Amino acid sequence: MAFGQGTPLPVDQADAHFEHAEEHLKPMEVIAGQFMQTQQISPEQGAALLIGIEHAGQHMAMLKQDNTQADKFQALWPAFSQIQTIAKGVIQFLQQQQQEQGQPQQ
In this predicted model, which residue has the larger pLDDT, 45 or 8?
Answer: 45
Could you tell me the residue ranges of all domains in the chain? 17-86
This prediction has a pTM of: 0.80
Q: Per-residue pLDDT tens for 41-85?
A: 988 888 888 889 999 999 999 999 999 999 999 999 999 999 999
Q: CA–CA separation, 55 vs 6, rounded Å?
A: 12
Q: Which residues of 25-52 are buried (b: 16+ CB within 10 A; e: fewer)?
A: bebbbebbeebeeeeebeeebbbbbbbb
